C-alpha cells in the first residue's frame, strides 16, 4: 500500500513458482471536504473489502516521506494507521517498508526516481503505467519488495 489521506494506492500480486503475477490494483480517493473520520473510514473499509476480494495473506506499507510539514506528516500517519489496521484486524501481518528499501528491491538503486520504479514494476508485472499512477506503482513496488523479503523464508520452510 502507498497510503495518503487524499489518495491511497493499493496493489495485489500473487507469488507463483514462475515469479510474481499481477492480481489487481487501485486507488482510494477521499474528499477533502469530508470530515477526517469519514475519510479514514473510507480507506479502512475499502482496504478490508480488497483483502476479502483478493484473499490477501500478507501486506506491505510504504513508510512515506514526511518532509512537507507537520500537517502533512500527521495526515500521512492517520492514513497509514487506517491502512495498517484494516489488514491487521483481518489477521494479516503488515511489513513497514521504507521508500529506499522498496526502490532498492525493485530497481537495484535505493535512490531511484519514481519513474524508474514505475518502469521496473511494469517490466516485472507486465504492466504499463500512465502519468499520475505513481501511487499504484508504488503500492505494487511495496508488494514486490515484501515478496522478495519473504521468498528466502518460503524456501527454508519447504
Q: List the catalytic residues.
A: 2, 62, 135
Q: What is the 3-state secondary structure (H, E, C) of 74-106?
A: HHHHHHHHHHHHHHHCCCCEEEEECHHHHHHHH
- Region for 125 from its dihedrals, namely left if φ exceeds 0, alpha if ψ lies in -120 to 50, beta otherwise: alpha
Amino acid at each position: 500500500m502507498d497510503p495518503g489521506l487524499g489518495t491511497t494506492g493499493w496493489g495485489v500480486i500473487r507469488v507463483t513458482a514462475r515469479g510474481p503475477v499481477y492480481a489487481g490494483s487501485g486507488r482510494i480517493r477521499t474528499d477533502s471536504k469530508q470530515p477526517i473520520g469519514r475519510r479514514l473510514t473510507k480507506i479502512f473499509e475499502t482496504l478490508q473489502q480488497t483483502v476479502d476480494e483478493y484473499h490477501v495473506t500478507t501486506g506491505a506499507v510504504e513508510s512515506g516521506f514526511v518532509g512537507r510539514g507537520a500537517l502533512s506528516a500527521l495526515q500521512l500517519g492517520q492514513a497509514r494507521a487506517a491502512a495498517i489496521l484494516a489488514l491487521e484486524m483481518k489477521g494479516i501481518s503488515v511489513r513497514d517498508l521504507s521508500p529506499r528499501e522498496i526502490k532498492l528491491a525493485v530497481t537495484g538503486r535505493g535512490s531511484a526516481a519514481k519513474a524508474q520504479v514505475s518502469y521496473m514494476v511494469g517490466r516485472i508485472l507486465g504492466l504499463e503505467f500512465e502519468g499520475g499512477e505513481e501511487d499504484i506503482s508504488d503500492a505494487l513496488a511495496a508488494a514486490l519488495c515484501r515478496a522478495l523479503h519473504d521468498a528466502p523464508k518460503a524456501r527454508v520452510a519447504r
